[in-house]
A and B are shown apart, each in its own frame.
Chain A
């Protein structure tokens, strides 16, 4: 907690961006990034050496992975696969939000229902999706619908659970404050319960995004050989490790960007939280 003097806000952010401040920030950033960048260079150099000295199938060196990436780009396979993956990912994520948010709000307000439903959600959540593949093939076949269902199944649950927790954890003292000023149920929801649950919902979306990424790769490797997961599986079957790794890296990058973006959103939406004041 900040115990700032009366005159100035502790963290007002009112001082405009001066060129000097920007320069200091850039320098600080450069200083922060130097050790990890050096570590990455050392790692890449070691990998390159190892790959050249040994079997390139085992340790495809970074230079070969790069050329594998270019090969996949030239034929257009990478772009197509990326589009397919993104399509299934975004559609199932959207469906998860559409189902998860309202269900979470209902479960958060209705204790009896959440008591009886949540054990089943836990059970579905705890089931590795890979073992459901045979069942999903029976139900949806190996096409697009099957993939979307497989991804959705693991993705909507963290949204439900987190939303419900957010609603349930509405601060009782603030409910009391709002009541003391005469707020009714609708105003309570609008002014206290919904805004208070936003950080939980955002955290749920971030977790769900991670789950969706895993789901899309599982679906593309085990259910329907397509997209980026399909490239990984096909290329590794032909021992073209460099191309496979190129696809792995694209997935890793995609995951970092997407989860990073949701992490950023989460911080932004919770800028009012006390914890934000300390940093």
Chain B
């Protein structure tokens, strides 16, 4: 744990119970079974876990889009309950407004805050340039590839200028080669802006490649199984991280933890599908 640094985001005892009504029968599903987690100032934290471990639910609670059943979220020590300017989300399905141009999508957080138009324009254009999309300001999302759309999503989150960037499997819907490129660029952007990042993923390589530490969740209900430090040097775009023995060691360590959960989850899924058929 990075005790030496200031804690930016602190997650304490988060539990989430979903009330489900299927065919008139009420039941309860415990999605998160008490999560404790810290993200330090300027720290990049990956959260990984099998499907059903409540990763996205956790991110939504931190974002203020969902309320926890128990527990608290605090930023710089003060508790938060709803969305706020100190956090910005990058969504898995991009979440771009199809009727807005790239520029208007990126400007959105500032328009919501009633920032002066000229200032909003200037900031948005700067961030569009930062993610390498100059010249596409007037394009509509449907004219862009998946990778480009997520660059817009990233630029929008940067324009909100949050202290914490919340990323919900942002590259999950992007093809493999583009994804590697995006990971590299995210690392560069992060080293420039030094924001705190909470990065949800189900891709083990991605989790290790990007993060200072990887939080491993177990499946249903989601609980923290382990927090693994990634002691690889930074500026990771300058060398082949995957070729490092340390990368292989950390990756293997996490995989051993995940494996059991994935196998069990798969068996559960098959059982549920069989029951449904």
A272 to B63, CA, bound (A): 28
Closest to A184 in B: B112
Say whether B258 faces chain A, with CB atoms less than 8 Å apart: no
Residues A191 and B145 in contact in the complex (CB < 8 Å), given A182-B83, A272-B140: no
A9 touches B144 (CB 8 A): yes
Q: Mark A120-144, 1 if CB is under 8 A from B, else 0.
A: 0000000000000000000000000
- Residues of chain A from 156 to 185 with CB closer than 8 A to chain B in the complex: 173-174, 176-183
Interface residues of A in 80-138 (CB under 8 A from B): none
- Least CB distance from A271 to B in Å reads 7
A-B contacts at CB below 8 angstroms, number: 85
Q: Which of B90-125 contact A (CB under 8 A)?
A: 91, 93, 95, 97-100, 108-109, 111-113
Q: Is the interface of B mostly helix, strand, loop or mixed?
A: loop
Q: Say if the beta carbon of B50 comes within 8 Å of chain A.
A: no
Q: Are A173 and B140 in contact (CB under 8 A)?
A: no
> Does A198 lie at the interface of the complex (its beta carbon under 8 Å from any beta carbon of B)?
yes
Contacts of B141 in A (CB 8 A): 272
Nearest residue, chain B, Cβ from A273: B98
Number of chain A residues close to chain B: CB under 8 A:
31
Cα distance A130–B65 in the bound complex, in angstroms: 52
Contact bitstring A227-259, B, C-beta under 8 A = 1, else 0? 000000000000000000000000000000000
Cβ-closest chain B residue relative to A10: B143
Q: Which residues of B contact A9 (CB under 8 A)?
A: 136, 139, 143-144
When distances are taken between beta carbons in the complex, the residues of chain B under 8 Å from A198 are 99
A182→B65 CA distance, assembly (Å): 10
In angstroms, Cα B167 to Cα A180, docked, is 12
**Which residue on B lies nearest to A271, using beta carbons?**
B140
**Bound CA–CA A3/B144 (angstroms):** 8
Which chain A residue has the least Cβ–Cβ distance from B145? A4
Taking a contact as CB atoms under 8 Å apart, the answer to whether B64 and A180 are in contact is yes
Subset of 20 A-B contacts with CB under 8 Å: A3-B145, A6-B145, A9-B136, A9-B139, A11-B142, A173-B93, A174-B95, A176-B95, A177-B89, A177-B95, A179-B65, A180-B65, A181-B83, A181-B108, A181-B160, A182-B84, A183-B112, A195-B97, A195-B99, A272-B142
Besides A4-B145, A191-B97, A272-B141, 6 other CB < 8 A contacts?
A179-B83, A182-B84, A191-B111, A196-B99, A271-B140, A272-B142
